[in-house]
Amino acid sequence: MSENGNVVAVILGGGAGTRLFPLTQYRSKPAVPLGGKYRLIDVPVSNCINSGITQIFVLTQYNSASLNRHIARTYRFSSFSTGFVEVLAAEQTKDNPEWFQGTADAVRQMIPHIRDWRVDTLLILSGDHLYRMDYRKFLQRHFDTNADLTISVIPNRREEAEEFGLLKTDENGRIIEFKEKPKGDALEAMQVDTTRFGLTEEEAKERPFLASMGIYVFNYEKLVTLLAEDQSWVDFGKEIIPDAIKKYNVQAHLFKDYWEDIGTIRAFYEANLDLASPLPKFNFFNTESPIYTRSRYLPPSKVHNCDIDNSMVSEGCILNGVRAKRSIIGLRSRIDKGTSIENSIIMGTDFFESLEEMKTNITKAVPHIGIGENCTIKRSIVDKNARIGKNVQLINQRGVDKEDGPNGNYFIREGIILIPKNATIPDGTVI
271 shares a domain with 309? no
- Regarding whether 322 and 252 lie in a shared domain, the answer is no
* pLDDT above 90: residue 154: yes
d(CA 250, CA 143): 12
Same domain, 267 and 315: no
How much is the average pLDDT of 382-403? 97
In a domain? residue 289:
no
Query: What are the tens digits of pLDDT across the range 324-368?
Result: 999 999 999 999 999 999 999 999 999 999 999 999 999 999 999
Instruction: Provide the residue range defining the domain that includes 344.
Output: 302-425
Identify which has the larger pLDDT, 356 or 199: 356
| 430 domain-assigned | no
Same domain, 317 and 260: no
Q: Give yes or no for a cis peptide into 30 (omega within 30° of 0).
A: no
Statement to judge: residues 271 and 350 lie in one domain: no
Dihedral sign, Cα of residue 197, residue 198, residue 201, residue 202: negative
Q: What is the DSSP letter of 215?
A: E
Domain count, the chain: 2
Asked if 268 and 326 sit in the same domain, the reply is no
pTM for the whole thing? 0.93
Q: Pick the residue with more confidence: 363 or 230? A: 363
* Same domain assignment for residues 315 and 249: no
Contacts of 393 (CB under 8 A, 6+ apart): 375, 376, 429, 430, 431
How far apart, in whole angstroms, are the C-alpha atoms of residue 155 and residue 116?
37
